[in-house]
Structure formats: structure tokens, C-alpha cells
Chains A and B, each alone.
Chain A
Amino acid sequence: MSELFFDGRPVPVEPDQTVAAALWRAGVRSWRTTRRAEAPRGLFCGIGACHDCLVTVDGSAGERACVTPARPGSVVSATAPSTVDPPAKGQRAARGRFDVAVVGAGPAGLAAAATAALGGGRVALVDASPRVGGQYWRHRSDGPAQDRAVFEGLKSIVEERVEHIADATVWFAEPGFVLHTTAGTVSADRIVLATGAYDRALPFPGWDLPGVVTPGAAQALLKGSGVVIGREVVVAGAGPFLLPVAVGLAEAGARVVEVVEAGQPTAYLRQPGHLLGAVGKLGEAGRYAAALARRRIPYHVGHAVVAARGGPDGVSEVDIARLSDGSVRTVRCDAVAVGYGFTANLELALLLGCGSRRAVDGGLAVLADDDGQTTVPGVFAAGEVTGVGGSTLAVVEGEIAGSAAAGGVLSTRELRQLRRRRDRLRAFADAMHAAHPVPAGWMSWLDQSTLVCRCEEVPLRDVERAVQELGATDARTVKLLARPGMGWCQGRVCGYPTAELAAHLCGRRSTREDHAAFAHRPFAAAIRLSDLAGD
């Protein structure tokens, strides 16, 4: 059997596993300690956003274990700052000039690239992963067959007609347009941003314990690497995504202790107009609900995980509160997958100067017109970046944006149908968001020492002090005075809760500006100084 070495100890490696998955499978649930409290950290978001899982791989420090392939023979260690130069990756190599470059190879990006390519122009599909599919279709071939067929169809067009630029994380974008990636520079007359989303987390006491992860992390670990997050798992948060995660874990042999849903998911059933437009999506949810019932997995609506406790090895129990009356019960578990919807990856759009708005779910979304064009001419957007709405909507938006970016590939009739379908799916998504809101009382779960920012280890106390004693009147000033969002993840995780907390402490509702303060990132990804400096 092939293996890597973690702090000198052999750890088995299977094909297609990440370093995080190999470690987790071997029972290692944390692999670094934080700089201040020396608290154990391991996997959290599971898809490269949170930077909690940093590890040193073969002398290169600061690698995200959740997106780094596990290679047999690799030497992995917890800390050790990097002093070894990594091999040159050809960052400055020109990868060509294209009519259209699509960023992100998930449902929206694949659809955009495939549609644009049907127009006959030169199209590039730029993605951080080795394979197309994004978070949604990255995984082993399962899921609804109909969905799979869409994927296979788009993939075959892309394979035939699109230049797929893989392993290419875009770290900077310039007007005109030039995308600077870890696999070289890509120039294009028009670009489509289909950069997707990651799980939205809310802080609560113990959310930084090993074993507390996002549903996306549990899903990526399972579907991407074949590793089950725990033996006894609580799946919690808000939104329809909890259902497939719970079913997947149960099918893989975990005992799903219960599914804890903060919202009232039947609320959208009362909106027949939307229902008609998205019967497929409802059918999907129904199938998952039936699968839960078959396995006798309790599904509690109007409840939330409000605290987690455990030791250095990780979480061992959680408090689950009924939101209507605050009554709490304690449940034993060895893993928690908890998330409240999604946060879209907006940094490239904001870097290029695209306008943004608050979406129905409270997060930021790129402003896009009927063609998917942003406020910057030549920059299009599709999928979750225009407002979180799921994969079916993402595909439709991708087709519309891809067609427009390529100068009009689809016929007027096709576009009319697509737009009608988009509007129906968007209305359905909005109804879903309304049924699964961020629970109003989440701020009351925190105590003074609860970390708001995991990277910089900023407790609630410091955020409160920034407003109440130091005079911050907005989220950006809170960031400047107390450092939430200043660390490794650059506010990807703490941005939403900190913006909400800052506004709440200032006695007002949060604004687009509060949230944008955490979404503007001059570097869309961390980059080594040697790579930035170039030759």
C-alpha cells in the first residue's frame, strides 16, 4: 500500500485522495495549532476557502490539506515554516489569447464555456481543480441520473471545443482582460465569472473544535476522497443541501444522529407559483426526505446547534436548541456538519470593479443584467455569484452568459425560453432562502470568548470593544481595530457574521458596504512572493 508520512508516521494514501482525507482516514483530525491559543485545527470548509487545514507538504508550508493531492512518499508536517523554494510553476507563461475565458468549471462555468464554444470562437475554461465539474460535479459518479446526463453532455462539448486550463487558481485579474493564474496568464476579450460559492458558517461556542466542519467539507471528503467524516454525525444548519449530505453520510455507513434544520422548509410549499416552476427540484428534496425517513434519521426543523464541546481530539457533544423557546438538549456525536447556506466567491468580480448587491439570503451577489453581463462591459457572471440558487439555475445562467459573451450564440427563441426558466428557478431559489433564513437569534449563542474570526482568533469580546469602546461605526473599521478578516482566509469565513455583528452592535441593519468590506480581496488567492515577483 502506498503511504505518506505525517510527523514521521506512515499514513495510507488511496488514489484521488487529498492530504486532509488521508489524514482524516488515519484518525488524525487536527494537524496544526493556532498561533495564539495553540488550539488544535484541522478540516473545516473542506474546499479551500477557510485555510484552517494548513499543513507543510514536502517542505512547502501553508498548503491547504483539503485541496492538496495526497502523494505517496510525501512528507507532511504540522508546522515548520517554509524555507524551501517550491518548484517553479511557470506562473508567467502565456496560455494564449481567447475570445472568451470562463473562470470556474462547475455547472455555470461548464454551461457557459460549452455554449460560448458552440459559437465557434476560441474559449478557455480556467479552473483551480485538475478536473472539470466544480464542487457540484467534482465527485464520483452518483446523484440524480438526469443531472449526470447534463454534466456528461456539457463535458463532452468542453472536451471537444474548449481549452481547459486546469490546476489554475486565478490570483489576480486585470482589465482588458488578463487573468493571472498559478498555471500562467490567460488573456481574453470577454470573461465569464462562474466562481461559485462555499458554505456559510455561523460562529457558536466550540465551532472551532476539530470535527466541527461544514456540510460542504463532509460532502467533499466523502464524494471526493471516499472518507466518512465521523461515526456519529449531526448534520445541522439551514437549507436543502443538508439533506443530500445526511443521506450520503448514512449510505456510507455513518450514523446520522439527526438533521437539525433552523428553518421551516415546508414554508415554500405554500407558494404554488414557484412550485410549478421547479417540480424537479422539489422531487429531489422529496427523495432525500424519504431516504432520511427510511433510515429513521430524525429531522428536526426550527432547531439549531448552539454549542459544541469536546477535547483536544475534537467534538464529543453538541447542544441543540429549539429556536421557538430556547430549550436545549445535549447530543453525543464525533462530528458535526453545520452550515447556513452559501457565500459566493466575489473577489474577482470586485477586483474588476463589478457592482454588487445584497441578495435575498443576505450575502453579496454580483449585479448582472438580462444577459448576465455585470456593470463592467465584457465581464459576465453566472451561477452562485449572481445570487445563490443551486446547480440547475447555474446551468441556465451559464448558457445565457456564455451565449452573450460569445456575441450571441443562441437564437432569440432559445434565449427567451432560457430566461423564462431562469426567472422561475430564481423565484424558487428566493422562496427557498425565505424558508431557510439565517436564524435571527444566532448572535445570542456566542459568549464573550467565542471566536468570531478563526484565523486571527478574534473573540466576540474584541469585536464588541471595537464598537462600544473604540468607536467603530461600520464593519470595515471593526476589521481595522480588531483584526477579524485580516488573516489567512481574508474574511471568507468570518465576513458574513462579522458584518452582521458590527451592524447589530452599532444599532442598525447591515449594509452592502458592511459585507463588501470583507469581500474585497486584491489578491483572489494567496501567492508566493517569488511567483508575484516573477522573473
Chain B
Amino acid sequence: MDPMTDRLPATADVVVIGAGVVGAACALAAAQAGLRVAVVDRGPITGGTTGAGEGNLLVSDKGPGPELDLALHSRARWIALAESTLDGDVELETKGGLVVAATPGDLAALRAFSRDQRGAGVEAVDLPAESLRDHEPHLAGGLAGGVSYPQDAQVQPMVATAYLLRAARRLGATVHTGVSVTGLPHGVVQTSRGRIATPAVVNAAGTWAGDVARLAGVELPIQPRRGFILVTEPLPPMIRHKVYAASYVANVASGESDLQTSPVVEGTRSGTVLIGSSRERVGYDRTFSLPVLRRLAAEAVALFPFLSAVRVIRSYRGFRPYSPDHLPVIGPDPRAPGLLHACGHEGAGIGLAPATADLVAAALTGAEPPLDPAPFRPDRFVDVRGEHV
């Protein structure tokens, strides 16, 4: 059996904190670079935000800029991982996204957005209202139009994470679940089950990354942004793409702490339809909020009227690792030598994990990074006076 929860190694070249998708991708990239890797997580693998994700590999919701560049690179990396590196089915589906606009005003804004995206290398096809149902036969009538994004894709995030970790283990990495990190003095990771001496620590603790950073004496302004998903009964294939309303992009980009919802609807290979999305900053409140669930249901039915007769069998919630400028935090932290971050991906962590891992591996080995890491630098939230902005 693979080494899963054996005794901690005394030393490692790098310790990855967090066995979610980002930690798993970082572990694999570091192991592929020849480093001795230990992954620790206080819970089981894929137990945090990854286990509550839909598995989006989206380019459609990103305007030109560093996150889109990261997403495009990452998408290619996911396809390569799924096709060659990972020895297992991560349920990669290049099903494409469809963004629809309800009003002419929304459509004009969406078209302007897609035009800019095309300029940045995104495949985006403007669709008139009359051809929307050629793409999605069960869409509501009366929509103003939409944009098709063939590059949008999906993986099963939990299974994908497990396969990333397995690939890392086959290269010698060890994975230790149920291990809490209790201290990060320079060169050492102190845990509830002993110490690991290591020159490098990767903070891939997702929404909880601020707590890990604090152990090393630095602040990271990562906060939980709660989201709910409704899961329907399994159906025959009715929805082909990931379909969402143009308002979603504005909501993702917003910094509001109050509740925001916008319909995101997609079918999965298992037959269920997943319905999102909500965003609210309410700390780690795990209560299922009926008003939010009701809004998700109403918005989904408005987009796909056939859903009104379909049953919801389940709901789940997760806490996205929100960062104030909506960009992930990736790379060495100049304030704490030896500490690297790979966190703050908000709702895009599944999609951005492989590219994040490439940046981390490049930083660990001194190799040339595949893209400019500057926009993601961890100390960007600190102003010239050393205070958080």
C-alpha cells in the first residue's frame, strides 16, 4: 500500500500544507522536479474547499489580465495531466460554457467583454438569441443572446485531487492526513505528530491559509466567501454546457460581503444537475440558509424552465478562499524566507491548480517560470509603510 499516513519523515525538501487540489498539484510538480515532498493536512485529502467544488476549468468568466493568462496556461496543463500524467479518469469534460444575457443592455456588456477576451486569446463565439437553443435546447425563451466559450471545461475535483496525490506518491512524495501544523519556525514544520526539517514550506491551506501564514509571522488577507450548490436528482442528459447568466461575471469580481447570487447551471456525468451560485462573506457559518437556497432554485428555473418539476436531493456548501483583489497568492513570501504561498484562488482553485503548481515548482527549483509571477506576489497587500491595504 502507498504511504498515506505513515510516520512523518524527519526531513523533506519541501513540505506542502494542504491536501486539496492546489496542494496536490504543487506536490506533484515538486516531485516531478525531483524534490522530496511531504504533504500534511489536518483533515483527510480533498476535505476542504476542493471537496465542495464543482471542478470548473473556466476561461469565460475572466477578463484580460494575469488571472486569464494563468487560466489559459492551467487549462492546457489539465488536459496534459488528464491525457498522459495521471493514471486514472479525472472525468475531464471539455463541454464548453455558454453565457446568456437576459436584456439587450446585459448583452451589449457581455459582447464587449467577449471582444476583449478574444483579443487575449480566448475562444468566444457571439450567439444571437435565435441560435441559443441550438446550443441548449431547454433554455428559457426571451433571452437577448449569449456567448459560447468552447474552452470551458470541468473535472471531478475530488477524484482529480486524489490522482494528483497518487502521482506524487509514485514519485516518492508522502501524504500525511490528520496532521495539524502547530508552528513554522524557520526551517522546521512543527506538527501534532512531530517535526519535519525542511528548507521550504508551501502554504496551500486554501481558505485557512491566513492561519498558516500567521504561524510564520506574516499576514495574508484570505477570507472565506461562502457558496451553496443545489444538486438535483439524476436525469438523462438535458444540459450540455456550463450555462450561466452574464451577471455572474460581475458577481465574481465584486468585493461585496452581502449575499449575491447568479444562476450557474450544468449537467454532470453522473446525471445530476448542479445549480449555483451564491457568494457571501459570513465567516465560517456552516448553516444551510433557506433564503439563499430558494434564490438559487428560482434563478435556475428561470434559466431552464424544465427544472421546475425536477427534484433537488442535496445541497452542499463551501468556503471559497477570497482574496481582496481576486487574484491568487502564489510564490515566495519575502517576509518569511522559505515560505511560499499557493492560495487565495477563490472559486477558481480547481482550474488554476496546475499553473499555480508550475509557478511554485519554478520558484522552488530556480527554473524559469512559465508566466510572470509578479501579479500574484504575496506581499502585494502591504503598502510602503508596511501596513495592510
Interfacial residues, chain A to chain B (CB-CB below 8 A): 35, 60-62, 81-86, 172, 174, 180, 351, 456, 466, 468-474, 476-477, 480-481, 483, 486-488, 490, 521-523, 526-530, 532-534
Contact = CB atoms under 8 A, between A and B. Distances in A.
B41 to A, nearest CB: 10
A61 B234 CA distance: 12
A180 B290 CA distance: 10
Contact of A528 (B44, B46, B51, B309): B309
Contacts of B44: 472-474, 476-477
B385 interface: no
Contacts of B313: 487-488, 490, 523, 526
Contact of B316 (A351, A456, A481, A522): A522
Given A456-B270, A523-B312, A533-B297, A480 B290 contact: no
A527 B46 contact: no
B291 to A, nearest CB: 10
Given A174-B290, A470-B159, A483-B270, A534 B298 contact: yes
B357 interface: no
B376 interface: no
B163 A533 contact: no
B132 to A, nearest CB: 19
Contact of B314 (A84, A180, A521): A521
A483 B313 CA distance: 14
Nearest to B19: A471
Contacts of B255: none
Kindly name the residue among A474, A521, A522, A530 whose own CB sees the greatest number of chain B CB atoms within 10 A. A522
Contacts of A533: 294, 297-298, 301, 308
A290 B309 CA distance: 51
Interface stretch (B1-9, B145-153, B216-224): B1-9
A468 B309 contact: no
A28 B1 CA distance: 47
Contacts of A351: 288
B165 interface: yes
A473 B158 contact: no
A83 B238 CA distance: 12
A174 B290 CA distance: 8
Interface in B275-324: 275, 288, 290, 293-294, 297-298, 300-301, 306-316
A325 B22 CA distance: 50
Contact of B294 (A85, A483, A490, A534): A534
25 contacts: A35-B271, A81-B236, A83-B309, A86-B309, A466-B162, A470-B159, A471-B165, A471-B166, A477-B47, A480-B46, A480-B158, A481-B159, A486-B272, A488-B234, A523-B315, A526-B233, A526-B312, A529-B275, A529-B297, A529-B301, A529-B309, A530-B308, A532-B230, A532-B297, A533-B297
B177 interface: yes
A79 to B, nearest CB: 9
Contacts of A526: 233, 311-313
Contacts of B2: 469, 471
Which applies to chain A's interface (DSSP): helix, strand, loop or mixed? loop
Q: What are the 8 A-B residue pairs with the smallest beta carbon separation, nearest first? A: A530-B308, A470-B162, A533-B298, A533-B297, A532-B297, A526-B311, A480-B158, A522-B315
B174 to A, nearest CB: 11
Contacts of B45: 471-473, 477
A61 B307 CA distance: 12
A456 B272 CA distance: 11
Given A86-B309, A487-B313, A529-B309, 5 more contacts: A82-B309, A84-B309, A522-B288, A528-B311, A529-B230
Given A476-B47, A532-B294, A35 B312 contact: no
B9 to A, nearest CB: 17
A170 B1 CA distance: 45
A470 B90 CA distance: 12
A6 to B, nearest CB: 21
Given A528-B310, A529-B300, A533-B301, A480 B270 contact: no
Contacts of B290: 172, 174, 180
A473 B47 CA distance: 11
A471 B233 contact: no
Nearest to B313: A526
A523 B294 CA distance: 12
A82 B236 CA distance: 11
Contacts of B308: 85, 528-530, 533
A474 B177 CA distance: 10
Given A483-B270, A526-B312, A468 B288 contact: no
B232 interface: yes
Given A481-B162, A487-B234, A522-B316, A473 B1 contact: no
A82 B310 contact: yes
Contacts of B169: 471
B175 A471 contact: yes
Given A469-B166, A522-B288, A529-B301, A480 B309 contact: no
Nearest to A521: B314
Nearest to B310: A529
A59 B2 CA distance: 51
B250 interface: no
Contacts of A530: 297, 301, 308-309
A354 to B, nearest CB: 14
A35 B268 CA distance: 14
Nearest to B286: A353
B49 to A, nearest CB: 13
B178 interface: yes
A487 B314 CA distance: 9
Nearest to A60: B309
A84 B163 CA distance: 42
A172 B289 CA distance: 10
Contacts of A521: 314
B150 to A, nearest CB: 28
A86 B308 CA distance: 9
A473 B313 CA distance: 26
B235 interface: yes
Nearest to A59: B309
Contacts of B51: 476-477, 480
B148 to A, nearest CB: 25
Given A480-B51, A529-B307, A533-B301, A473 B4 contact: yes
B288 A532 contact: no
Contacts of A529: 230, 232, 275, 297, 300-301, 307-312
Contacts of A480: 46, 51, 158
A472 B162 CA distance: 8
Contacts of B298: 533-534
Contacts of A488: 233-234, 313
Interface in B85-140: none
B311 A473 contact: no
Interface in B185-241: 230, 232-236, 238
A236 B5 CA distance: 40
Kindly name the residue among B44, B163, B178, B234 whose own CB sees the greatest number of chain A CB atoms within 10 A. B44
Contacts of B166: 469-471
A471 B162 contact: yes
B301 A477 contact: no
B5 A473 contact: yes
Contacts of A468: 1
Nearest to B233: A62
B46 A477 contact: yes
Nearest to B317: A522
Contacts of A490: 313-314
A499 to B, nearest CB: 14
A226 B310 CA distance: 32
Given A522-B315, A533-B294, A534-B298, A473 B309 contact: no
